[in-house]
Structure 1
Amino acid sequence: MKSSVSPAQRAAPPRSRTTSAMLLAGVLLTSSGCAVANSAGGDTGRADGRTLRVVLTQEPPTLEPCEASLTGTGVVVRSNITEPLVERDPTSGALNPLLATGWKQTAPRTWTFDIRSGVTFQNGAPFTAEDAAFSIDRAVNSDLACNVEGYVFGDEDLEVKAVNDGSLTVTTEKPDPILPLRLSFVEVVPRTTDAKAKVRVPIGTGPFAVRSWQPGAAISLDRFDDYWGKAPDFARARYVWRSDASVRAAMIDKGEAEIAVALDPMEAEKDTTVAYPNNETTALRLDGREAPLDDIRVRRAIDLAVDREGIIDALLGGLAEPAGQLVPPGVVGHSDQIEPPRQNVAKARALVREATADGVPTDRQITLVARNGMFAGVSETAEALQYQMQEIGLNVRVRMADTATQLQYQLRPLPKNVGPIALLIMHGNQAGDAAFTTSQYLLSDGPQSTFGTDALDRRIASAGAMSGEKRQKAFADLLTEQNQSVVQYAHIAHMNGLLGLSRSIRYEPNSATGDEMRLAEVHSAKGAKH
């Protein structure tokens, strides 16, 4: 759904979408090569009808369950190998029972969970409330520095107690109206799991178990025959990875894979591809610790320089919507009142000139860091943003980075003595609540924030204690405030994913597919189990 344009924005109309697309294409022709879909090799496995073959953009950095909120890990681990107590329906937002059959708030700071009986781990051990308590304690209260701890729980520790095999209590430091939602991110592992070190091959209660992980080649899973739920159609699954989108698409065409993720928009017209809103939002995070990005006029100028519609049309195949905030529609806290800024080069140049006149070193080189494989067309998008920032008088260079390097720039502790950084990020709010975005990206000391204000910090804390309509309004208001008084982000687009699907399978992607692709939801087109 496209946002309408306010009268104030109409006063300075941007370049037309057609002209923008032509300009972006022209700027990038000299530096963008054409990829050739070379052979996928023999490590994908044969099309035997029993193995579901999935091709990813890159090898998962880890299969450690407490890191499953990382997209590269979660897409393999979540709800396939391991499971949480509670799962969120990605379409309705409703919380559904999984390893917990029910829950209720039994005191202002305490929630009680009923634990499902008859569940077995892949090592043969029975699942009880003790395993659930151990898993929460290991992920949230330990020194493992799990991503789920920072992303979902921040600095808060939980008091966890197994009352008996079938009952668990979780007590928070202060009342938390969305604790069950937070716990949907904690994957359950056996209490025999190493509590002092992250594991390479996880054990869980999910429908698939890890058979092997060949570094640099493939990850293979086997169907877990003692799974407590409905058995998946496929007996095996095999993940491989190819960084080139055209190669991933060719693997579907050649019958070398059943599912290929993150295809290039140029593949959108095929009957073997399907587009879906993937809850991801792209943005430039502007490091306010360093000049010239420490000046709000420069940050606001960058926000006005971005040609969102041109980038979407020319580089993203139209498979996105212009963004003015970090959370897309459907997430609690999304504001329908925030309209994506329209490009206004003249106003942006004037802001840069004003800052320059006041002594801001606007000629200092800004490094625009982007991650290879983040989305189809990421390098071209980075180059377009570089051009648009240079158009308003800024000095910008692009640095394309691998995942490990990009994470050094994205997560605290942030690198020092690297100069001003504009980091291209893609944020997916898997949980459907703006609390998970604001605690990470807007708090002044948030794990993925470079700066903020005390006033905004107080508003974030206040909104997090609310529920219902009050919660929705409070978060929408503070997202508006970020755009007015902080401008840490130049938002670009709410993204759509493009999935390649073999004609031999049936699968309907949803907004969670990019973060947790549930293999049990993939069915044979012939309707038979294999």
Structure 2
Amino acid sequence: MRISRCVRWPAVVVAGALAATACGSFEGSTTSGSGSADNLTVSLQFTPRANYSLETDDAFVLSQVGCLETLVKYDAEAGALVPLLATEWVQTEPTAWDFTLRDGVKFQDGTDLTAAAVVASLQYLLQADAPPRAFTPKLITSVEALNDSTVRVRTPEPSALVPFRLASINTGILAPAAYTGTGIDPLSHCTGPYTPVAQTPAQSMTLEGNATYWGGNVPLKSVTARFIPEGATRATQVRTGESQIALGLPASTVPELEGDARIKVSSAFTPRTTGLYFNQSRAPFDNPDVRKAVQAAVDVESITSSVFGGQAHPAIGPFAPTEAWAPDSPPVNRNPDAARRLLTAAGYAPGQLKLTLLAYTERPEFADLAAVIQANLAEIGIDVSVQVSDYSAIEPSLLDGAYDLALLSRNHLTDIADPLGFLTADYSCGGGFNISQYCDPAIDAQLSAANTENDPQRRNAIYADVASQLQADAVTTFIAHEQTTAARLETIESFVDDPLARYAVTPDLTVSNS
């Protein structure tokens, strides 16, 4: 059975008060499969590899399993910020925002959620060696407790987007005891509906229902989360009943899943775009003509219909045409003859360029995608070798600028639920994830203006202009606007495949006996 839904990506509306103005200390888990209506097993796409440090993507794992919560939540369906651990927020000064905490919330270790605990959690991020892109000392001047229930966040300049930063999963709040000095210990230190009780490192985590959850009774007794990078394996586990939910499934697995009456397949377009990234810190991609040659050679129409199985649209830039901040631009037409002329103009003869393309296994379609790109570039005289491994193995090369080409799938509302986070991280001169090594002071000035702009429509116009420039300069070859696909057994109720990859096991999710 196939279920499709359309997620709204409107001009983002600020809700609440804004509208008015080390490895954990637990080891050795059980990894039982699906069972009674009290128990759930879910297969997740990414494996925690940084000792659950909240400044890393491990924070998303803690959120997906129902452990970690933030002060504010971005409701993707409504396109608005909504309360979570904070019930309201207000800009009390041009450079200050005050957040009022929810009454009666306890951490899973029994201690109270207080402003002091929130401040300690957020200051941990600011003091990290590599702070999360949404919450850095460059963006946040200070965090202080005004009283037991109010937290003030200060910025170096007026910013309309501070509440969006506090909705970032990386700004999730843990009890003070979670910060051990040798890593993060999530055992009993979250506020969410499910409490981690055991783990097998890099394989699985077991959680139990939080009996004191501030949101009320939770329906499941236990949850087992399995970390399975291979998409085909995740799909198989749903078919065999070893898992009841599997996330991030490749298009190649969908037909068989849809043919099983016990399984429901759901999909939704996401604010995620696959791109071919160039290392512009060195030849040949410091030359825009070479980048434009590659852009003209890649057959995005064929890729979206074959590699993505029709579950993606050809990219027109970093943003899909349905998004409020997307420019009114056509996709780049494939033109191998023009690509060869550009290479000649750049001084490269056929066969002279020999490059390496990096891809990662967590995106199961990337191996096939890399092979298509390899063939496309061979047509214009570029010899490409492909290296595929898990993401953690290639990230150091990306961040150090020690690569030629790389395939990446980037969700542009993950850092914060506004394109500024993505554009700043990936395309500003000092961006925390600027693996392209791209720097244009004019782009930086536009992004700085967007940060202080209170009018969403004006911000969106800036983002659209920046996106047009990125496409015109071939800073990245944008390939596909993606869907997310998940599968679940028919006994699973109230599951939503989150397009921002933040949530999977929620307080509403239940397992029936039928």
Q: TM-score, normalised by structure 1?
A: 0.83
What corresponds to 2:12 in structure 1? none
Which ranges of structure 1 fall in alignment gaps of 5 or more residues?
2-41
SS of residue in 2 equivalent to 1:493: strand
- Which of 105, 113, 122 aligns to 2:99? It is 113
Q: 1:175 and 2:166 equivalent?
A: no
Matches within 5 A, 1:393-408: 393-408=381-396
Corresponding letter in the other structure for 1:491? F
SS of residue in 2 equivalent to 1:297: helix
What corresponds to 1:236 in structure 2? 222
CA distance in 2, matches of 1:345, 1:368: 19
Corresponding letter in the other structure for 1:427? R
CA distance in 2, matches of 1:179, 1:438: 16
What corresponds to 1:455 in structure 2? 442
SS of residue in 1 equivalent to 2:381: coil
Shift of 1:331: 5.3
Shift of 1:516: 2.7
Output one character per residue of 1:480-524: Cα deviation in whole Å (capped at 9) or x when no partner: 122224x22000111112111111112443443533324323223
- Which of 342, 356, 361 aligns to 2:333? It is 342
SS of residue in 2 equivalent to 1:74: helix
Residues 140 and 154, structure 2, Cα contact 8 Å, conserved in 1: no
Q: TM-score, normalised by structure 2?
A: 0.86
Shift of 1:360: 8.3
Residues 275 and 499, structure 1, Cα contact 8 Å, conserved in 2: yes
Matches within 5 A, 1:495-514: 495-512=482-499, 514=501
CA distance in 2, matches of 1:316, 1:154: 39
Shift of 1:432: 3.1
Residues 52 and 236, structure 1, Cα contact 8 Å, conserved in 2: yes
SS of residue in 1 equivalent to 2:393: helix
What corresponds to 1:138 in structure 2? 124
Shift of 1:65: 5.4
Output one character per residue of 1:62-94: Cα deviation in whole Å (capped at 9) or x when no partner: 4625236x2x54044358112111101012221
What corresponds to 1:210 in structure 2? 196
Q: Structure 1 residues 332 and 188, CA, compared in 2 at 3 Å: closer, same or farther?
A: farther
Corresponding letter in the other structure for 1:432? A
- Which of 261, 267, 276 aligns to 2:268? It is 276
**Percent identical:** 24
What corresponds to 2:16 in structure 1? none
Q: Structure 1 residues 526 and 399, CA, compared in 2 at 3 Å: closer, same or farther?
A: same
What corresponds to 2:186 in structure 1? 201
Corresponding letter in the other structure for 2:130? A
Q: Structure 1 residues 112 and 362, CA, compared in 2 at 3 Å: closer, same or farther?
A: farther
Residues 161 and 170, structure 1, Cα contact 8 Å, conserved in 2: yes
Residues 279 and 511, structure 1, Cα contact 8 Å, conserved in 2: no
Residues 91 and 510, structure 1, Cα contact 8 Å, conserved in 2: no
- Which of 282, 295, 302 aligns to 1:303? It is 295
What corresponds to 2:361 in structure 1? 372
SS of residue in 2 equivalent to 1:521: coil
Residues 258 and 502, structure 1, Cα contact 8 Å, conserved in 2: yes
What corresponds to 1:54 in structure 2? 42
Shift of 1:135: 1.4
- Which of 243, 246, 255 aligns to 2:241? It is 255
CA distance in 2, matches of 1:330, 1:116: 35
What corresponds to 1:516 in structure 2? 503
Q: Structure 1 residues 475 and 79, CA, compared in 2 at 3 Å: closer, same or farther?
A: farther
CA distance in 2, matches of 1:82, 1:58: 16
Q: 1:464 and 2:456 equivalent?
A: no
Residues 47 and 229, structure 2, Cα contact 8 Å, conserved in 1: no
Q: 1:434 and 2:422 equivalent?
A: no
Residues 350 and 380, structure 2, Cα contact 8 Å, conserved in 1: no
Corresponding letter in the other structure for 1:502? L
SS of residue in 1 equivalent to 2:501: coil
Matches within 5 A, 1:58-69: 58-62=46-50, 64=52, 66-67=54-55
SS of residue in 2 equivalent to 1:406: helix
Which segment is superposed worse, 263-272 or 429-438?
263-272
Q: Structure 1 residues 80 and 306, CA, compared in 2 at 3 Å: closer, same or farther?
A: same
Shift of 1:351: 0.8
Output one character per residue of 1:317-370: Cα deviation in whole Å (capped at 9) or x when no partner: 1101111222345656332x12221211111111112212xx689723211101
Shift of 1:197: 4.4
Residues 332 and 433, structure 1, Cα contact 8 Å, conserved in 2: no
Q: Structure 1 residues 189 and 43, CA, compared in 2 at 3 Å: closer, same or farther?
A: closer
Corresponding letter in the other structure for 1:478? V
Residues 366 and 407, structure 2, Cα contact 8 Å, conserved in 1: no
CA distance in 1, matches of 2:141, 2:404: 35
Q: Structure 1 residues 408 and 510, CA, compared in 2 at 3 Å: closer, same or farther?
A: same
Shift of 1:259: 0.3
Output one character per residue of 1:103-126: Cα deviation in whole Å (capped at 9) or x when no partner: 111111111111111011011101
> What is the root-mean-square deviation of aligned Cα atoms in Å?
2.4
What corresponds to 1:82 in structure 2? 68
Output one character per residue of 1:228-259: Cα deviation in whole Å (capped at 9) or x when no partner: 00333211110113343333222212211110
What corresponds to 2:13 in structure 1? none
Residues 144 and 196, structure 1, Cα contact 8 Å, conserved in 2: no
Matches within 5 A, 1:307-386: 307-328=299-320, 333-335=325-327, 337-356=328-347, 363-374=352-363, 376-386=364-374
Q: How many residues align?
A: 472
CA distance in 1, matches of 2:86, 2:151: 9
Which ranges of structure 2 fall in alignment gaps of 5 or more residues?
6-29
Residues 272 and 482, structure 2, Cα contact 8 Å, conserved in 1: yes
What corresponds to 1:423 in structure 2? 406
Shift of 1:279: 2.5
Shift of 1:313: 1.2
Shift of 1:278: 3.1
CA distance in 2, matches of 1:48, 1:79: 18
CA distance in 1, matches of 2:143, 2:45: 37
Output one character per residue of 1:285-325: Cα deviation in whole Å (capped at 9) or x when no partner: 11111211111011011111111121111111110111122
CA distance in 1, matches of 2:235, 2:495: 18
What corresponds to 2:167 in structure 1? 184
Corresponding letter in the other structure for 2:341? A
Which segment is superposed worse, 151-160 or 85-94?
151-160
Residues 210 and 218, structure 2, Cα contact 8 Å, conserved in 1: no
SS of residue in 2 equivalent to 1:88: strand
Residues 152 and 436, structure 1, Cα contact 8 Å, conserved in 2: no
SS of residue in 1 equivalent to 2:43: strand
Residues 314 and 480, structure 2, Cα contact 8 Å, conserved in 1: yes
Shift of 1:453: 1.4
